[in-house]
């Protein structure tokens, strides 16, 4: 078809050229042309008599062709007409020349030209498709990720252990793929999909959560499978309620991380698309977002159990890192504005004893019940203050101040030492302490150590030690169980230390926080006990959680027989296995000077201050 079109085009342009040639070259033909086409026939002076205007080029002056008009000067109709005629003549002379040249070409040459043209058409189509697909997103100068070369650790034993962890990832992934592909999570005992209401009917939580772990473990084929599932199936037009926090940390975080590691545009596009879908959650009188959102209708609400219709500190306080990156990658400041407003609301409020209560009413902008926790309901709010400062290349001094002020209040009012010498972080209820620490709270060991470097003078060592003490306490909570995996919560009262006393606190759902703290402590101190403790956890997972169909959580870690909960949580692949893998890798894999882990262990690069200045300009 292209050949036919090409020949027709050739004939047609030759015909047009001849017609125009006749008009221009026949005596007095310009009169005829101007009479027919322009309804005016001013007499033009011969070319030699014309003078070039101020903006004319030398060659134009020579040929007496184009006369540029000075900015703002009124157009001279005679000159404009003359100008147009000269351009038309020139174009047609060129077409005639090209037609002649083509007719002299060998068939092979014509063939080659056709192929080149075809290629160009295909390229244009691709570009058009990309423009449609990524419409609205600015070009981003993708920076190749730092520290993703996956070198084998020099020590053979360490290397073997690391290989074992990769095998665990394969087992978890392959079973998910086999029994629950495209669904959110896997039920490893029933060997079917598991749906959690946290994601409404968005699908593929495990796929998105696992992306960066697959990437850093070098599981390239699996990463590609995941990517193509996302391209074809990941859909956010769902008419169901989702948890804004969970969708943000797992989906937005997972997509951003995959983009920063691979540079694949699809991840950036999906992350921004999802970010936009989450924006209606902020339509509250204070701008503090709802916990739950119907992504189709844009209607939000809070958990019915939350104190007086409040939003939850750990939920609205764990959007900052991802939203700053959404603005960075979309060129749209709206995401950053939303999370900066949360901070503004918080900074205006009086804090009881300098502590942040877990509940805040989005309508009144006032605290709900005065319950303070560094575990569930509060945890990642503190984590994100510290990481906001680090991720801003240490320029976000407001976040730094908020973090260190909060930590000081936590130390004064919540951190205690048991009679057996274990440091723990209690919970605070209107001034009274509950001597209980959650598995979730164990992340704080890593947080204290990570922040140590930026602590006010003389406190660096203190915060490193505090991190180490929390790590030891959490290790004890594992060590004092039968399964050597820690319970959901453990207590320091009624004559026990670091032990769960209530039946409904004895479960372990493959959570990462203790191993996360080991990872930071290992990186920051290189004390071999952290690798030892991490390996104990690997052995326990292999002995008690591994089943034919994947990995399962346990209902009671003190019992001698496994009682499976039949869920392979997506964070097992996103966090637990990633942190374990890093503990047995060299420090130059994902160096902490370049990367921030979001609360789901997804990777976000530090936004360099010098680059930001250039962007702002």
Q: Is 600 in the site for ligand DMJ (CB under 6 A)?
A: yes
Which of the residues 264, 396, 476, 513 is marked catalytic? 513
* Pair of tokens at residue 238: 């769902």
213 near ligand DMJ, judged by CB under 6 A: no
423 interacts with ligand DMJ by CB under 6 A: no
The answer to whether 511 contacts ligand DMJ (rule: CB under 6 A) is: yes
**Chain centroid offset of residue 554 CA:** 31
In whole angstroms, what separates CA 305 from the centre of its chain?
Answer: 30
Total number of residues that touch ligand DMJ (CB under 6 A): 9
Contact assessment for residue 510 and residue 572, using Cβ atoms and an 8 Å cutoff? yes
- Between 82 and 318, name the residue whose CB sits nearer to ligand DMJ: 318
Distance CA 462, CA 220 (A): 42
State the number of CA atoms in the 13 A half-sphere of 126 facing the CB: 6
Task: Return the SS3 of 186.
Answer: strand
Q: What is the contact mask toward ligand DMJ in residues 529 to 568, using x (rule: CB under 6 A)?
A: ----------------------------------------
The answer to whether the CB of 443 falls within 8 A of the CB of 516 is yes
Asked if 599 interacts with ligand DMJ (CB under 6 A), we say yes
What are 603's strand-pairing partners? 597
Q: What's the rounded Cα separation, in Å, for the pair 317 and 333?
A: 18
Q: Is 516 a catalytic residue?
A: no
431-490 binders of ligand DMJ (CB under 6 A)? 440
Identity of the residue, 428 or 572, whose beta carbon is nearer to ligand DMJ in the bound complex: 572
**Does 380 engage in binding with ligand DMJ (CB under 6 A)?**
yes
315 binds ligand DMJ (CB under 6 A): no
The CA distance from 414 to 428, in Å, is 7
Instruction: Assess 427 for contact with ligand DMJ (CB under 6 A).
Output: no
Indicate the residue among 206 and 599 with the shorter CB distance to ligand DMJ. 599
If residue 344 lies in a helix (H) or strand (E), which one and from where to where? Answer: helix 334-348
> Of the candidates 571, 581, 584, 595, which one interacts with ligand DMJ according to CB under 6 A?
571
Q: CA 563, CA 566: separation in Å to the nearest integer?
A: 9
Minimum distance between the CB of residue 599 and ligand DMJ, rounded to whole angstroms? 4
Helix (H) or strand (E) holding 348: helix 334-348
When asked if residue 581 is in the footprint of ligand DMJ (CB under 6 A), the reply is: no
Question: Residues 233-252 vs ligand DMJ: string with x where CB under 6 A?
Answer: ----------------x---
d(CA 285, CA 67): 62
Nearest residue (CB) to ligand DMJ, 161 versus 387: 387
User: Does 508 engage in binding with ligand DMJ (CB under 6 A)?
Assistant: no
Shortest gap between Cβ of 112 and ligand DMJ (angstroms)?
58
Binding to ligand DMJ by residue 267, rule CB under 6 A? no
Compute the least distance from the CB of residue 513 to ligand DMJ, in Å.
Answer: 6
602 touching ligand DMJ, by CB under 6 A: no
**At its nearest, how many Å lie between ligand DMJ and the CB of residue 505?**
15
Smallest distance, ligand DMJ to C-beta of residue 249, A: 6
Residue whose beta carbon is closest to ligand DMJ: 599
For position 598 contacting ligand DMJ by CB under 6 A, the verdict is no
Q: DSSP for 12-67?
A: HHHHHHHHHHHHHHSTTHHHHHIIIIIS--PPPPPGGG----TT--HHHHHHT---
- In which residue are the tokens 């047009």 written? 16
Residue 527 contacts residue 579 (beta carbons within 8 Å): no
- 392 touches ligand DMJ by CB under 6 A: no
Applying CB under 6 A, does 382 fall inside the site for ligand DMJ?
no
Distance CA 486, CA 510 (A): 10
Active site residue 246: yes
Q: Is the separation of the CB atoms in 498 and 486 below 8 Å?
A: no
- Residue 498 CA to residue 385 CA, distance in Å, equals 28
The annotation status of 599 as a binding-site residue, yes or no, is yes
Residues near ligand DMJ (CB under 6 A) are 249, 380, 440, 511-512, 571, 575, 599-600
Binding residues for Ca(2+): 599
User: Active-site residues: which are they?
Assistant: 246, 379, 488, 513
């Amino acid at each position: 078809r292209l050949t036919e079109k090409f020949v027709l085009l050739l004939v047609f342009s030759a015909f047009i050229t001849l017609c125009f040639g006749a008009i221009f070259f026949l005596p007095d033909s310009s009169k005829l042309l101007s009479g027919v086409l322009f309804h005016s026939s001013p007499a033009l002076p011969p070319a030699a008599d014309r003078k070039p205007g101020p903006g004319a080029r030398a060659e134009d002056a020579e040929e007496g062709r184009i006369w540029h008009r000075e900015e703002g000067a009124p157009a001279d109709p005679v000159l404009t007409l003359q100008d147009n005629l000269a351009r038309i003549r020139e174009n047609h002379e060129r077409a005639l020349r090209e037609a002649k040249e083509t007719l002299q070409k060998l068939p092979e040459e014509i063939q080659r030209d056709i192929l080149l043209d075809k290629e160009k058409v295909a390229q244009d189509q691709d570009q058009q498709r990309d423009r449609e697909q990524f419409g609205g997103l600015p070009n981003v100068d993708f920076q190749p990720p730092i520290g993703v070369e996956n070198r084998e650790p020099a020590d053979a034993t360490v290397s073997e252990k690391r290989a074992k962890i990769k095998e665990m990832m394969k087992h978890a992934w392959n079973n998910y793929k086999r029994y629950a592909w495209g669904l959110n999570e896997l039920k490893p005992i029933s060997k079917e999909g598991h749906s959690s209401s946290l994601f409404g009917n968005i699908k593929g939580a495990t796929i998105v959560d696992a992306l960066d772990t697959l990437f850093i473990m070098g599981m390239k084929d699996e990463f590609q499978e995941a990517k193509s599932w996302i391209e074809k199936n990941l859909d956010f037009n769902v008419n169901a309620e989702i948890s804004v926090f969970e969708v943000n940390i797992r989906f937005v975080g997972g997509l951003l991380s995959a983009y920063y590691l691979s540079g694949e545009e699809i991840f950036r596009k999906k992350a921004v698309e999802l970010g936009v879908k989450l924006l209606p959650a902020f339509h509250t009188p204070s701008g503090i977002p709802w916990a739950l959102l119907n992504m189709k209708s844009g209607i939000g609400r809070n958990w019915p159990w939350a104190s007086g219709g409040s939003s939850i500190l750990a939920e609205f306080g764990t959007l900052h890192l991802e939203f700053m990156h959404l603005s960075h990658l979309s060129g749209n400041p709206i995401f950053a504005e939303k999370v900066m407003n949360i901070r503004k609301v918080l900074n205006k409020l009086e804090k009881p004893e300098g502590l942040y209560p877990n509940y805040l009413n989005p309508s009144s902008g006032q605290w709900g019940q005065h319950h303070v926790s560094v575990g569930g309901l509060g945890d990642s709010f503190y984590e994100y203050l510290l990481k906001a400062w680090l991720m801003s290349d240490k320029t976000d001094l407001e976040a730094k101040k908020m973090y260190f002020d909060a930590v000081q209040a936590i130390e004064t009012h919540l951190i205690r030492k048991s009679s057996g010498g274990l440091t723990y972080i209690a919970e605070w209820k209107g001034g009274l302490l509950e001597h209980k620490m959650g598995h979730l709270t164990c992340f704080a060991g890593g947080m204290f150590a990570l922040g140590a470097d930026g602590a006010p003078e003389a406190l660096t060592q203190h915060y490193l030690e505090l991190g180490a003490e929390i790590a030891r306490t959490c290790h004890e909570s594992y060590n004092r169980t039968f399964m050597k995996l820690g319970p959901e919560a453990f207590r320091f009262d009624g004559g026990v230390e670091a032990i769960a006393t209530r039946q409904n606190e004895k479960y372990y759902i493959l959570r990462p926080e203790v191993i996360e703290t080991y990872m930071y402590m290992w990186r920051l101190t290189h004390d071999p006990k952290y690798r030892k403790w991490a390996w104990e956890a690997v052995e326990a997972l292999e002995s008690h959680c591994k089943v034919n169909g994947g990995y399962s959580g346990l209902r009671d870690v003190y019992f001698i027989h496994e009682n499976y909960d039949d869920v392979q949580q997506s964070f097992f692949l996103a966090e637990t296995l990633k942190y374990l893998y890093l503990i047995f890798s060299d420090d130059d894999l994902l160096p902490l000077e370049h990367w921030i882990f979001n609360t789901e262990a997804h990777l976000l690069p530090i936004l360099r201050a010098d680059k930001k200045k250039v962007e702002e300009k």
